[in-house]
Amino acid sequence: MERQFLVILSLCLIAGCQITSLSTPVEINDELTPTLAVDEIKQPFQEEPPKNIWEYIVNKSLQDSEIVINDQALLFMNNHIKDIDKFNDYLNKSYYFIYYVVQELEAADLPVELAFIPFIESNYDPFSISPSGAVGLWQFMPKTGRLFNLEKTWWSEDRHDPYRSTHAAIGYFKYLFERFDNDIYLALAAYNAGPTYLDRQIRKNKRLGLNTDFFSLNLSKQVTEYIPKYIAIRELVFNAEKYGVDLPDIPTDSVVQKVEIPGQVEIMTLSEYLDIKPELLYKLNAGYTKWASAPKDKSIFYIPIDKAFLLDDPDSPFENVNQINWISHVVSSGDNLWSLATKYDTEVRIIKEINYIESDLLSINDTLLIPLSKMKTNNFIPYEMHIVSEGDTLWDISKKYGIPIKDLLRINSLTKSSYLQLGQQLTIGNKNIHRNIESKKRTILYSVKQGDNLYKISELFDVSIQSIKDINEFKNSQLMPGQIIKVAIRAF
């Protein structure tokens, strides 16, 4: 309560102050005027570099813009500063991303203060999901995301990607500033409510002969509060010392580095090698929605800059292509060959060939081997042959390849009394891969995101809810954002 009174009082004092001129002019006495040395005259005035990202934003901001601190803005300011430590933590959530956001805004010639918007939208949480389905730092809806080339595949969701979504958001703001005559308040209102809605309210005011600035428009409660929220954060950051706010120390330099790694990369393997928590790696690379990057020729990752040297090491396990080319899929109700080919970015023909499927019908609970994408490395059928040599027996061959004798006999249409011939070709075959893949389940760690539940996670990784409960020894089904759980996936 005392702090609220101080904020109100300080604003009143500012409003009541006026600059007055000196009543008596000061006469200059040439004799008393110090003479500067030539070297001193030539010395240009050098500004000190900004100490942190906040000082940089203040220096680069629209200093001449008119800031209206109304009752709503004042309310939001007081809500923030009633717990200074909490507000400091709130601002610190931007630690890994705000420098990149400011850089991109500046490159696009947009106000750098727009870097405050993700605080309002998502608390700078790339995993954030609103009840209406808006996603990521900038809370893109699916339709708007598609307009700005934010794609969604089985492997990734660009709206969650902090860097791709920032690029898209800046493109959207660029459009809104042009559409609304560079009025920052109208552009922000349009970002929140949509440009069509704002145009409609502006036309209504024009018909009534009213002003069309943001504060004159008749807008919904959500939009009306959006601008004061922005103003509140801006005011507290720009005048932190006056309000007793201790801004977190975020440097004016990138704390993450973009790296390219050949092939597909498991997030858990990379986090272990870099010796960072998997939840941090997930956060920096929130666009990846599975346990690994997509199966492509290279993977893009953002990692803490102080860990980048590890990937330059010639002994790094990520120097060579690390492909995870196959996954097993248990057929469930509604599955068909075309939906599976689309989901996993492959072809119906390949799925049929690999799994010896002759018809287009699938049986529920059957396990299929699926190639992940149409890369060159996947353009083969994993079909193995054993050429019988002297001394070979069915027992030796079954032991060598880990195949029960009955399966070896069945695959090759043999009986127990069959004799092996030198040079005979025996199919070790891809039918065995199903058994291998099930015996090589990989346990990964998954960071629970806002809006997740056991059903969603089971769908995400194509596993049963019960398997998640069992491996984590859950007594109930309640999950918390940020919680790390184990998932046993059927991949190799």
| Cβ atoms of 261 and 318 closer than 8 Å | yes
Q: For residues 199 and 428, give the distance between their C-alpha atoms in angstroms, rounded to a whole number.
A: 68
The H-or-E segment that residue 161 falls in is none
Structure tokens at 128: 């954030």
| Cβ atoms of 88 and 248 closer than 8 Å | yes
Range 441-489 has CATH code 3.30.230.10: no
pLDDT at residue 231, rounded to an integer: 95
Which amino acid type is present at position 160? H
From-to residues of CATH 3.10.350.10 in the chain: 326-378, 385-429, 441-489
Handedness of CA 439, 445, 447, 448 (dihedral sign): positive
pLDDT at residue 65, rounded to an integer: 56
Q: Which CATH architecture group holds 326-378?
A: Roll (3.10)
- CATH number for the region 385-429 comes to 3.10.350.10
Q: For residues 351 and 169, give the distance between their C-alpha atoms in angstroms, rounded to a whole number.
A: 39
pLDDT at residue 97, rounded to an integer: 98
Q: For residues 198 and 464, give the distance between their C-alpha atoms in angstroms, rounded to a whole number.
A: 46
End-to-end CA distance of the chain: 60
Handedness of CA 10, 13, 19, 20 (dihedral sign): negative
From-to residues of CATH 1.10.530.10 in the chain: 50-243
Residues of the chain with confidence (pLDDT) below 50? 1-42, 375-383, 430-440, 491-492
* 50-243 topology per CATH: Lysozyme (1.10.530)
Residue 35 is given by DSSP the state P
Catalytic sites, residue numbers? 121
Structure tokens at 75: 């309310």
Handedness of CA 176, 178, 183, 186 (dihedral sign): negative
Residues whose CB falls within 8 Å of the CB of residue 27, separated by 6 or more in sequence, listed in order: none
Q: Let me know the angle formed at the C-alpha of 165 by 164 and 168, rounded to the nearest 5 degrees.
A: 90
